[in-house]
Copies of this chain bind each other. A is one copy, B any other.
Amino acid sequence: MQPDTLLKQVSFIKEIDKIKYIQRKTKLFNSDRPENDAEHSWHLAMMTIVLAEHADTPIDVLKVLKMVLIHDIVEIDAGDTFIYDTQKSHTNTDSERMAAQRIFGLLPKEQADELIAIWEEFEMGATNEAKFAKSMDRFEPLLQNTSNNGGTWKEFDVDYKDVYEKKKVIQAGSTSLWNYAENLLNESVDKGILKKTKN
Contacts and interface: CB of A to CB of B under 8 A. Distances in A.
A43 B38 contact: yes
A6 interface: yes
Interface in A29-58: 29, 35-36, 38-39, 41-43, 45-47, 49-51, 53-54
A177 B7 CA distance: 11
A4 to B, nearest CB: 12
A127 interface: no
Q: Would you call the interface of chain A mostly helix, strand, loop, or mixed?
A: helix
Interface stretch (A13-21, A75-83, A90-98, A150-158): A13-21
B28 A17 contact: yes
A17 to B, nearest CB: 4
A13 B45 contact: no
Given A17-B28, A29-B14, A36-B39, A1 B45 contact: no
